[in-house]
Chains A and B, each alone.
Chain A
Amino acid sequence: MSSSLIVHEMVEEAHDRPARKKKLGVLFWICVGWLVLNFIGAIFANVLPLEDPLFQNYAVVNAGPSLHHLFGTDDLGRDIFARIVFGSRVSIEASLGSMLIGFGIGAPLGMLSAYRRGKFDSVVTAVMYVLLAFPAIIATIAVLSFWTPRSLLKIIIVVGVASIPLVYRVIRGATLNYSTRDFVVAAKVQGATDRRILMKELLPNVAPVGVSFLLIGIATVVTLEGALAFLGLSVNPPTPSWGNMINESISILQTNPWLAVFPSLAMCLFLLCLNFIGDRLRSHFEVSEGKI
């Protein structure tokens, strides 16, 4: 459901909401803690005392949750808990990788165009507008279905490139808010270099917008990985990923509903935390992206 479109949508929404400073609150830190836990799990999955996510134990097929298998086992006797922890790697790698591409290209371009204005700005913005008119999700599906053999790296590249215009739009809008403010003009008058103004004056102000957009972007890519898994376009089984696990659970929904419940829960909690943190940060920093 959620996609680049909802991201786009939430950006617009943030603009219209009357800004008010909110405290971050306990829930915010709980969410941060949960995300950190997820990241630690993904990084140290090899070291943690987990079962091999690919080990098939036919003695305990489709078992419910127990002490031996916290979340039970799947139809091939693989430990669901271990598969969820290892599966988070795919989601996290895909989202961080593609956001690295999206922000790596989109953010500098956006800041530069908003700061320079003029011809450079109008050309780049026009190109990005055409790219935005593309149905990004459909294009992603199309390219991934033709670009065989599929791998995580290709997913990262395609999704990353598709996210560039969105990042550009948000960052440009945010920079535009500041680039004519007095403190920027003052820095210019004092003879600061463009580089210094961009890095020292504008970047710290644009960063909060960037971070909250990054979080929503990560949430979007995690959802997208799930969608791609359903279309058979994500990493190949038996490699566990949240999307693959939910997809595999469908055929045996009646005999073993746990198989669907736990990865879905893992994914939804992860998304909820990301969305919540992004939302709180946005209202905390009184961010208004501004329409373009």
Chain B
Amino acid sequence: MVRYLVRRLILLIGVVFIVSIGSFYLLHLLPGDPTAVILGTGDTPANKAKLFAQLGLNKPIWEQYFVWIRNVLRGNLGTSFISQTSVWSVVKAALPIDVEIIVLSQILAFLVAIPLAIRSARRPDGPLDRILGAGSFTLLSIPSFVLIVLLVLFVSIKLGVGHTGPSSYVSLSADWIGNLESLSLPAITLGIGSFVVYYRVLRSDLIATLQEEFITLARSKGISARRIMWRHALRPSAVALCGTAGVNIGGLLASGFIVQYLLSIPGLGYELIESVGLSDYLVVQGIVLVVCVGVILINFGFDLLTNIVDPRIRRE
């Protein structure tokens, strides 16, 4: 276990390092004089000098990286010259909203996917399995941005449910019921997207597991079908599910960005798109760095979880 952990940790650090170089280099992709582009409307000599010091622009490029990474490690992602706020404060205000949406959507997805997958696996190619198979396949072809448009059309415009339409976000501290209402459509949209994947993965794995010998043994011992399913079959079948959930998180965040933008929910995605529109590149860079590192850490977490669920993987 220790050796495995060490190897994974080294890979983790390597990837985070490369991500940091990538995020750093983003600013150099800007055409022309980057300072003029970054400063935008705040292009005054005083600001220019400040930015030069902040990014160390008069030094060679590898030294610039160290200036930048030292600031980042101290929690200083720079100051936006357009809104005059620190990038970190923008990220800190927006991040909890993304986390809340994703947690809600995952709870929904697992709550629906696990029981349905178990039901389907009990009778493969039965009526329920066929209906769910076709349904999940269709849902797989509906992008989240189409789904959220349809949901807004029906739930908030036709049915007129409160707090669900665009620009009706209520913060958690103000009113938690209103907050749940305003985040319900994003959570349902992302939840459906994840549900489809989790259902299909768990179902096929469960079917494969149920044909193994230890299940036959359990059956012959007279253990109830219910107990076999939950105690014997679910755990070995959940390996791919954990892996998938980890890999899913990047796509989930990206879908979340679009949904937030459409409903004007001030999460990371909304800030990101606003900043791209305003050419506020330091904010974009900060959000990209935080999100990338976050995704990598979550992946790492799910990797460890997979290990706990099925210790056999470590030996490979």
Contact = CB atoms under 8 A, between A and B. Distances in A.
Given A9-B201, A16-B208, A146-B284, A130 B146 contact: no
Contacts of A17: 204, 207-208
B153 A257 contact: yes
15 contacts: A1-B255, A2-B143, A5-B250, A6-B140, A9-B248, A12-B244, A13-B204, A146-B26, A226-B145, A226-B146, A253-B153, A260-B153, A268-B141, A268-B143, A272-B137
A267 B143 contact: yes
A145 B254 contact: no
A88 to B, nearest CB: 15
B93 interface: no
A142 B145 contact: no
Nearest to B294: A135
A148 B38 CA distance: 13
A94 B284 CA distance: 24
Instruction: Summarize B's interface: helix, strand, loop or mixed.
Output: helix
Contacts of A272: 137-138, 141
The listed residue with most B CB atoms (<10 A of its CB), out of A133, A135, A253, is A135
Contacts of A12: 201, 240, 243-244
A28 to B, nearest CB: 13
A109 to B, nearest CB: 19
Interface in B65-106: none
Contacts of B244: 9, 12
B292 A138 contact: yes
Given A13-B204, A219-B141, A250-B262, A135 B248 contact: no
Interface in B224-248: 240, 243-244, 247-248
B276 A232 contact: yes
A276 B201 CA distance: 17
A249 B149 CA distance: 9
A16 B254 contact: no
Contacts of A232: 273, 276-277
A44 interface: no
Nearest to B269: A231
A279 B208 CA distance: 19
B14 interface: yes
A264 B149 contact: yes
What is the predominant secondary structure among interface residues of chain A facing chain B?
Answer: helix
B57 interface: no
Interface stretch (B15-23, B47-55, B111-119): B15-23
Contacts of A129: 11
Contact of B295 (A138, A233, A260, A267): A138
Given A3-B251, A18-B207, 18 more contacts: A5-B250, A6-B197, A16-B208, A130-B14, A134-B15, A135-B292, A138-B250, A138-B253, A138-B292, A146-B26, A147-B29, A226-B145, A231-B276, A253-B157, A264-B146, A267-B143, A268-B146, A272-B141
A1 B276 contact: no
Interface string B127-149: 00000000001101111111101
A253 B149 CA distance: 9
Contacts of B29: 143, 146-147
Given A17-B204, A257-B153, A133 B255 contact: no
B291 A138 contact: yes
Interface in B8-42: 11, 14-15, 18-19, 22-23, 26-27, 29-31
A264 B145 CA distance: 9
Given A1-B193, A227-B258, A133 B296 contact: yes
Contacts of B273: 231-232
A217 B125 CA distance: 28
B271 interface: no
A139 interface: yes
Nearest to B34: A146
Contacts of A275: 137, 140-141
A242 to B, nearest CB: 10
Interface in B188-207: 190, 192-193, 196-197, 200-201, 204-205, 207
A134 B295 CA distance: 8
B281 interface: yes
Contacts of A54: none
A13 B207 CA distance: 12
Nearest to B142: A268
A141 interface: yes
A247 B145 CA distance: 9
A246 interface: yes
Contacts of A130: 11, 14-15, 18
Given A133-B299, A146-B284, A223-B143, A141 B204 contact: no
A264 B151 CA distance: 13
Contacts of A1: 142-144, 147, 190, 192-193, 196, 251, 255
B23 A230 contact: no
Contacts of A271: 141-143
A275 B140 CA distance: 8
Given A13-B201, A18-B207, A18-B208, A230 B145 contact: yes
A60 interface: no
A254 interface: yes
A203 interface: no
A264 B144 CA distance: 11
